[in-house]
Amino acid sequence: MANYFTDNPDILFNLDRVDLRALADLIEGDYSDAATSEFAPENAEDARDNYLNTCRIAGELCAGPVEERARIIDQEGNSCRNGKVYYHPLVEENIRDFRRAELLGISIPRKYGGLQMPQVIKIAVLEMVSRADASLMNLVGLQDIAETIYEFGNDQQRAEYIPPLSAGEATGAMILTEPDSGSDLQSVRLKAVPPPDGNDQGTWHLQGVKRFITNGNGDILLVLARSEEGTVDGRGLSLFVCRKDDTITIRRIENKLGIHGSPTCDMVFNDTPAYLVGQRKRGLIKYVMSLMNGARVGVAAQAVGIAEAAYRTARDYAETRIQFGQPILQFPAVYEMLTDMKLRIEAGRMLLYETGKIVDLQKHLAARVQQAQARGEAVDPEMKMSAKYYERLASVLTPFSKYFNAEMCNRVAYQGIQVMGGS
């Protein structure tokens, strides 16, 4: 049976290179969860087996039904009528398949219905999804919403919003961009009206317009909004969580060049009830920066997956297309292009998985430090320094990885077009 994990040994090579057993030790601690949860690993070897099994399941799903549906989804797209988005029926089927395979909360803690696996496993899954259908990655990759709520939300928000996202009963969206605020998110204007009694923890109301929002029709929405009246910069912005309801209208979905399976929404909030995530004024400076770093690694994985698909399509064509009495693969101009494509993909993939490992180390070391502090224990100074070190390294490697792989993907796709001639 076709499988995008087993047919591509470079993914396993990179997963082994980042040392899954060491990551498992960091994530699982003393493996005591195994006593109470049948899904928790008993040791590092068991954890590695679980991780690779998840990759195998995803690889089979991607190489099978997801790949088969991709062309029709991209030709027909989703639709928007009367202020609501309707997924293409095959997009619905993809989401259903991922829900059944339990692949929608890969790095979310078990306590909240997730698989509690490293980021690198999520990266491997996102890469394979993108090889089959790049638009589906935009939806499957929205697991970052749950991760952000886990990291910065309160206990009640975690309990309310994360389990339905992990279980795939709800989808999410990260809602930042506005017509006049793209790269310059500091200028976001969508207004958050505070609760009348002045209690931050009460119900706020959102008013304004957002644009270019992937899956803006989702059920659980993280929204960047201006909470501090009279301010004009990033220090006046806070992050809110709300649910889809009738106060939200989707005006239209963008007519894009590709990835038509992913609805990119133009939307209006008309007094939408919402709740503050974390502290006021830290929305952009802290929470959205973290959310966007997660999304950046996802986009880097998407780029590697698309490049892999382009390379394989071009290579298969070059092997079978006969010109001047021989397969075009045998002409130096063609095989040099294919070699160059493969080399760039492997370099990009190595950077991607290395970045994933560093993000894992950063997140889990920081969590260990926080847990020790919460228990009132003295924190090992070496662990504290390591957590800081990996935080800095992750903040450098994450944009590197997105930049390198997005450019690499464009170049590889262009070379693929050359190999394909007029086909």
213 binds ligand FAD (CB under 6 A): yes
Six-digit token string for 163: 């389990």
Q: Identify the CA nearest to 121 among candidates 243, 224, 24.
A: 24
Residue 198 phi, psi (nearest 5): 75, 5
Nearer to ligand FAD among residue 14 and residue 262 (C-beta): 262
Question: What stretches of 140-198 adopt beta strand conformation (E)?
Answer: 172-175, 191-193
214 binds ligand FAD (CB under 6 A): yes
Nearer to ligand FAD among residue 113 and residue 278 (C-beta): 278
182 binds ligand FAD (CB under 6 A): yes
135 binds ligand FAD (CB under 6 A): no
Q: Which of 36, 75, 82, 183 binds ligand FAD (CB under 6 A)?
A: 183
403 binds ligand FAD (CB under 6 A): no
- Cα dihedral sign, 373-107-56-416: negative
Nearer to ligand FAD among residue 146 and residue 341 (C-beta): 146
Q: Which of 177, 293, 362, 398 binds ligand FAD (CB under 6 A)?
A: 177
Q: How far apart are CA 396 and CA 290, in angstroms?
A: 13
Q: Which of 165, 170, 176, 301 binds ligand FAD (CB under 6 A)?
A: 176
174 binds ligand FAD (CB under 6 A): yes
Nearer to ligand FAD among residue 6 and residue 187 (C-beta): 187
How many residues bind ligand FAD, per CB under 6 A? 11
Three-state secondary structure call for residue 274:
strand
Do 270 and 247 touch, CB atoms closer than 8 A? Answer: yes
Helix (H) or strand (E) holding 129: helix 119-132
How would DSSP label each residue in 3-55?
Answer: -TTTT-HHHHHHHHHT-HHHHHHHHHTT-GGGGT-TTS-SSHHHHHHHHHHHH
Q: How far apart are CA 271 and CA 192, in angstroms?
A: 9
Interface region with ligand FAD, contact rule CB under 6 A, candidates 6-14, 63-71, 175-183, 368-376: 175-183
Q: How many CB atoms lie within 10 A of CB 332?
A: 8
Residue nearest to ligand FAD (CB): 182
Interface region with ligand FAD, contact rule CB under 6 A, candidates 73-81, 206-214, 318-326, 408-416: 206-214
Q: How far apart are CA 274 and CA 204, in angstroms?
A: 5
Q: Which of 86, 167, 193, 212 binds ligand FAD (CB under 6 A)?
A: 212
Q: How far apart are CA 185 and CA 94, in angstroms?
A: 32
Nearer to ligand FAD among residue 227 and residue 264 (C-beta): 264
* In the complex, minimum distance from the CB of residue 186 to ligand FAD, in angstroms, rounded to a whole number: 11
**Between 259 and 288, how does the x/- string for binding to ligand FAD read (CB under 6 A)?**
-----x------------------------
* In the complex, minimum distance from the CB of residue 265 to ligand FAD, in angstroms, rounded to a whole number: 9
Nearer to ligand FAD among residue 3 and residue 177 (C-beta): 177
* In the complex, minimum distance from the CB of residue 284 to ligand FAD, in angstroms, rounded to a whole number: 12
Helix (H) or strand (E) holding 128: helix 119-132
Nearer to ligand FAD among residue 129 and residue 361 (C-beta): 129
Beta bridge partners of 273: 205
255 binds ligand FAD (CB under 6 A): no
* In the complex, minimum distance from the CB of residue 93 to ligand FAD, in angstroms, rounded to a whole number: 22
Q: How far apart are CA 198 and CA 202, in angstroms?
A: 8
Do 338 and 312 touch, CB atoms closer than 8 A? Answer: no
- The residue count of the chain comes to 423
Q: How far apart are CA 66 and CA 45, in angstroms?
A: 30
314 binds ligand FAD (CB under 6 A): no
Q: Identify the CA nearest to 240 among candidates 169, 176, 164.
A: 176
Nearer to ligand FAD among residue 295 and residue 351 (C-beta): 295
Q: Would you state the torsion angle of the CA atoms of residues 15, 47, 62, 3, taken in this order, to the nearest 10 degrees? A: 70
Interface region with ligand FAD, contact rule CB under 6 A, candidates 208-216, 225-233, 239-247, 376-384: 208-216
* In the complex, minimum distance from the CB of residue 21 to ligand FAD, in angstroms, rounded to a whole number: 35
* In the complex, minimum distance from the CB of residue 182 to ligand FAD, in angstroms, rounded to a whole number: 2
Residues making contact with ligand FAD (CB under 6 A)? 174-177, 182-183, 212-214, 256, 264
